[in-house]
Amino acid sequence: MKLIKKGLLDTWLSLPIYGLQHEGIPPGGAMDTFSLQIANALVGNDLYDKALEMHFPSGIYQFETSTLLAICGADFTACIDHVEVPMNQPIKVPPGAILSCKKPVSGQRTYIAIRPLTDEQVSRVKILPWSMNPENVFTDEPIRILCGREWDQIKACSQQLFLSKAFSISPTSNRMGYQLIQEPLKTLSASTMLSTAVTAGTIQLLPSGQLVVLMAGHQTTGGYPRFAHVISADLPRLAQKGPGDSLRFTLTDPTTAEYEWILEQNYLQQVRNVCALKLSQHRFDHH
């Protein structure tokens, strides 16, 4: 791909890389790991491969070789040579084709997975006849959380406020963390705490009484109370929300959190297997 015009924070990203947090190196990776993996599966890539994470306004790119691509996550009205193309579906594009996004419709981040077609010369845009529609990324269901280590340091009335009111995401939010706008929460005491481990999804209570949800670009340690944690299975859904969006939280338990994560991983593996089979059949039919 050749860059024609720069976009807002277009970045080649993979899944988070764990194991170096004790050295002060955060896992990083894509914000919406679910959409990234669906896009990779649709083109026959490994689920861990890098894809292009784009925000709106996004960049404009030209393909230099015959390429198979898939677009997942946020709907930015993606176009190939100014003709709108579907999301969550593999698309073959010829050399010289130009990818652009015209208008944001839903979500905050879109993912483009690509695979060069070394054994095929594509002469025109061709949409392959299968798709995967990950609807659960854009539901308005409450974001599920687990109680954090310092949950009990928050006054009961503030705990109830947190679970009963809607929050708005602040315009100052970014890949490092989402700041939430709401009535300040109150702690039982003003005692300070030592910096301790945090991870993506950790909800910290700031001295102002406001909350911040740590996202993909989070630091490795923090010195504020870890009020709660967003479960891993709901982080992609949270990642598709942006400044001004409203959200609610609901408590769940560790067993449910683990079950939902396993369910998501099994689904992703099934999608990858199905797409690999369909691509194999398509290549056989093509030849």
Whether residue 122 is found in the same domain as residue 205: no
Establish whether the linkage from the previous residue to 207 is cis, with ω within 30° of 0.
Answer: no
Q: How many domains are contained in the chain?
A: 2
Residue 267 inside a domain? The answer is: no
The CATH number of the domain holding residue 11 is: 2.60.120
Whether residue 130 is found in the same domain as residue 9: yes
* The pLDDT value given to residue 246: 94
Whether residue 31 is found in the same domain as residue 125: yes
Whether residue 34 is found in the same domain as residue 132: yes
Whether residue 42 is found in the same domain as residue 153: no
CA distance 75 to 58: 12
Residue 257, CB half-sphere, CA atoms under 13 Å: how many? 17
DSSP code, position 58: P
* The pLDDT value given to residue 135: 63
CA distance 99 to 61: 5
Q: Where are the alpha helices (DSSP H) in the chain?
A: 33-42, 156-164, 235-239, 254-286
Whether residue 189 is found in the same domain as residue 203: yes
Whether residue 126 is found in the same domain as residue 26: yes
Q: Judge contact between 125 and 93, C-beta under 8 A.
A: yes
CA distance 7 to 225: 36
- Number of residues in the chain: 287
The CATH number of the domain holding residue 201 is: 2.40.100.10
Which two structure tokens, joined as six digits, stand for 260? 């939902």
Per-residue pLDDT of the chain (287 residues; tens, 9 = 90+): 999 999 989 999 999 999 999 898 999 999 999 999 999 999 999 999 999 999 999 999 999 999 999 999 999 999 999 999 999 999 999 999 999 999 999 999 999 999 999 888 999 999 999 998 776 677 789 999 999 999 998 899 999 999 999 999 999 999 999 999 988 998 887 767 788 899 999 999 998 999 999 999 999 999 899 999 999 999 999 999 999 999 999 999 999 999 999 999 999 999 999 999 999 998 766 55
Residue 281 inside a domain? The answer is: no
Residue 260 inside a domain? The answer is: no
Strands 83-84 and 106-116, bridge-based pairing = unpaired
Backbone phi, psi, residue 102, to 5°: -95, -40
Q: Of 137, 164, 191, at which residue does a domain stop? A: 137
Give me the domain span that covers residue 171.
143-252
Q: Of 116, 137, 158, at which residue does a domain stop? A: 137
Residue 82 inside a domain? The answer is: yes
SS3 string, 13-40, reads: ECCCCCCCHHHCCCCCCCCCHHHHHHHH
Burial grade of 69 (CB within 10 A; 0-12, 13-18, 19 or more) = buried
Whether residue 25 is found in the same domain as residue 91: yes
Residue 258 inside a domain? The answer is: no
Whether residue 217 is found in the same domain as residue 116: no
CA distance 91 to 88: 9
Whether residue 167 is found in the same domain as residue 229: yes
Whether residue 171 is found in the same domain as residue 117: no
Q: Is the Cα dihedral 268, 270, 276, 282 positive or negative? A: negative
